[in-house]
Structure 1
Amino acid sequence: MNIFIDNKSGAPIYDQIYSQIKAQIIGGDLQEDESLPSIRSLAKDLRISVITTKRAYEELEKEGFIYTVAGKGSFVAPKNVELLREENLKKIEGYIQEIRKLAMPCGLSLEDIIEMFRILEEDE
């Protein structure tokens, strides 16, 4: 598992950890029931506070991406198809908002955008 902390990003460190682990789970880099580094071990490797790492793990657990077994550690939770679908829907909505922002100054209509999408679909 690779985690990179960007001190210049402005994003809280726990959020960077949370986002990167979540992305690795969704992307399939971390497999179901795979063991995650202990909170202390990850904190030591990243040279950050244990509290920061703990918060990231707590957020991941709260959202159903990982589970913890007392005395054994934290593991990747079985993939919840509905949870993954919701995550992807949120991403799609964000991209659609961006498309709207870009299309408005160009005078593109909804039909123009749909036609562009159809053309891209045909090319694949």
Structure 2
Amino acid sequence: MNVFIDNKRGAPIYDQIYSQIKAQIINGELKEDEALPSIRNLAKDLRISVITTKRAYDELEREGFIYTLPAKGCFVAPKNVELLREESLKKIEEYMQKIAQLAVSCGLSKEEVVEMFMMNWEE
């Protein structure tokens, strides 16, 4: 598992850890039931607080990406197809909001935007 912390980014460190592990789970780099580094070991490797690492793991567990077995550690949860679909829908909605804002600023009508979308869809 590779996690890199970028201190120049505006994102909080726990969020960077959370986002990178989540992305690795979604794209299959981390496999179902694969053990994650312990909270303490990851914190030591990244030279950050255990509290920060724990917060990232707690968020991943809360969203169903990992599970914890007492005295054994944290593991990648079985992929929940519905959860992954929701994640994709959320991204699509975010892109659509940006498209709508750009379209309004360019003076495009809904019909023109739909036409552009349909042309891209067909390609």
Per the normalisation by structure 1, the TM-score is: 0.93
Unpaired runs of 5+ residues, structure 1, are none
Find the residue that maps to 1:98 and give its secondary structure.
helix
Find the residue that maps to 1:29 and give its secondary structure.
coil
Between the aligned residues of both structures, percent identity stands at: 76
Q: Residue 75 of structure 2 corresponds to which residue in structure 1? A: 75
Q: Residue 114 of structure 2 corresponds to which residue in structure 1? A: 114
Deviant stretches of 4+, over 6 Å: none
Say yes or no: does 1:45 pair with 2:35. Answer: no
Q: Deviations over 1:52-107 (max 9, x none)?
A: 11111011111111001112111110111111111111111110010011111211
Per the normalisation by structure 2, the TM-score is: 0.94
Deviation at residue 117 of structure 1 after TM alignment: 1.5
Deviation at residue 25 of structure 1 after TM alignment: 1.0
Q: Which amino acid aligns with 1:7?
A: N
Q: Residue 91 of structure 2 corresponds to which residue in structure 1? A: 91
Matched pairs, number: 123
Find the residue that maps to 1:2 and give its secondary structure.
coil
Alignment of 1:9-28 (within 5 A): 9-28=9-28
* Cα RMSD (Å): 1.1
